[in-house]
Structure formats: structure tokens, C-alpha cells
Amino acid sequence: MPQSDIPLLWSALGANALAVLFYLLHVQIRRPAIWRFAFALVLTGFAVQTLTLALRWFAAGYLPVTNLFSTLFFFSWCLAATYVYFELRYRLHASGLFVMLVNLVLLAAALQRDPAIPALVPALDTPLFTLHIVFSFLGYALFTMAFSLGVLYLVRRVTGSALIPDLSKLRRLNEEAIFLGFIFFTLCMVFGSLWAYLAWGYWFSWNIKGVWSFIVWLFYAGMCHAKFVRRWQGTGYALLSIAGFGVVLFTYLGIGLLLRSNHPLG
């Protein structure tokens, strides 16, 4: 990997960590200047991550998302992008604390891994693979956003804190995150199936990762409907978003770490 990546990666981590600190400070001292500065740090971290991603893409000649380091890094980039979109559009302010905390964990986990860019094996050398991965992490990032919004919803309900947007706004944003996440994850499944058909001769694989990806898809399809049922709106939806994130985490990390899988990416 290019040596220049290492300081860049640490700068992104530093900017994210500082952003989290300033968001925490904002909880104590409620001054607009503080959340503005925190968000400026988020934007700086995101810009550095974007530059790192671009440099690695250029150096590799393909979007490097083929090992755990690069997928964690890409996941974190997607989550930062998602948060920036929600913040710019809906002004969440200090509510960003929780998302950025998750992002910090992702980045720190990535930095524990080997960032070297592996040689591209022919099976992964197709735009279908790239589309599959890009849409999967965009989906995961939006499901993580929904998880954060779900937690915020519950916190707001219990504490009534004025730092957090009101319940009806949180509910709407949560529904939006789930819907967008489902749309992206649908595209991920379509491209993945097409790729599997061309590479292995079947479009649905019964390996445990394939099965759990289908579970994620079906779970969030169910959630796309649950919002039409009055009883499930609000708290029920927040709880489902949190449970859904558990399913996502298990599919992405748990299977690789706990069980054996013959999915091409473990």
C-alpha cells in the first residue's frame, strides 16, 4: 500500500475522535459554535477518508474492497457520507455523537488490520463485484444510521432532552434511512446474484453468508411495511432498527468470526 496512506488513516481517525469529543462537550456546554466545530471536524475526517480511498483506488487500479481492512474502511466512509447527508439535510447537531462513535469504532477496528492491498483474483475482477460491495455497504451504512436514530429515539423518549430532535422527526428520519437502506441492499443482492450466476453457475448460494444476506433483505423488507402499522410506529420501529443492526453485524462480521463460511469474502 502507498506509505502516504498511513498518516492519512491516522488523521481521519484523529479528526473523528476529536469530533466525538466536541459533540460530548456540546452535551455539557450547549453553544452552537461547539457543534459547528464538531461538524467541521466530521467533514475534515470525511474529506481525508475520501482522499485516502481515492489514492488507494488509484494505486490498486480497482476499488479496494476485497479484505477486512478495506471493507471496514469503506463501511466507515459510507457511514460518514450518510451522516453528512443527514446532518446537512436535517440538522441533527449533537445527535451526531452516536453515529460518529460507531464510525470511530469502525475506523479503529480497520486500523487493527493489515492495510496492504491484495492482488485482485480473477473472480473478483468484474464491475458486478464492485457494484455488489458498494451497494451492500451503502445499505449497511443506512441501516447503521437507522440504528443510531432508533437509539436516539429511545433516549429522547426516556430523557426528553431538547438536545435531540423531536420524536416525530426522528421517526421520519428512521423510516427514510430504512427505506433507502433497503433500496441499496436490494441492488446489492441483484448484482451479487448476477455475479454468482456468471462465476459459479447459480444465482443463490446456500453458504451461510448468502443465507444471512437474504435474511437481512427480508427483515428490512418487513420493516418497510411495519411503518404502515400504527402499533409499530415510533418505539416499535426504533427497537426493530436496533435488532436489524444486530442482524447486519452478524452477517458482516459474526459469520466470518464465529462460523465457517465459503462465501468468497468469508
Burial track 100-114 (b if 16+ CB lie within 10 A, e otherwise): bbbbbebbebbbeee
The rounded Cα 6 to chain-centroid distance in angstroms is 22
DSSP structure class, residue 205: -
Residue 187 contacts which entry, ligand HEM, another protein, none (Cβ below 5-8 A, type-dependent):
another protein
Query: Which residue number, 103 or 213, has a Cβ lying nearer to ligand HEM?
Result: 213
DSSP structure class, residue 169: H
Residue 259 contacts which entry, ligand HEM, another protein, none (Cβ below 5-8 A, type-dependent):
another protein
Report if residue 129 touches ligand HEM, rule: CB under 6 A.
Answer: no
Residue 122 to residues 55, 60, 71, 126, 127: CA-CA distances in angstroms?
22, 14, 19, 8, 12
Among 221, 229, 257, 258, indicate the residue that binds ligand HEM (CB under 6 A): 221
Report if residue 224 touches ligand HEM, rule: CB under 6 A.
Answer: yes
Query: Which residue number, 114 or 125, has a Cβ lying nearer to another protein?
Result: 125
Report if residue 225 touches ligand HEM, rule: CB under 6 A.
Answer: yes
* DSSP secondary structure of 65-95: -SSHHHHHHHHHHHHHHHHHHHHHHH--GGG
Report if residue 232 touches ligand HEM, rule: CB under 6 A.
Answer: no
Residues lying near another protein in the complex (CB under 8 A)? 119, 121-123, 125-126, 128, 176, 179-180, 183, 186-187, 189-190, 193-195, 197-208, 211-212, 214-215, 218-219, 221-222, 225-226, 228-230, 233, 247, 259-261
Query: Which residue number, 37 or 217, has a Cβ lying nearer to another protein?
Result: 217
Q: Report, in this order, helix, strand and coil percent for the chain, each rounded to 5.
A: 80, 0, 20
Q: Which of residues 151-180 bind ligand HEM (CB under 6 A)?
A: 179
Query: Which residue number, 59 or 221, has a Cβ lying nearer to another protein?
Result: 221
162 Rama class: left (phi>0) / alpha (psi -120 to 50) / beta: alpha
Query: Can you give the binding site for ligand HEM, defined by CB under 6 A?
Result: 179, 182, 221, 224-225
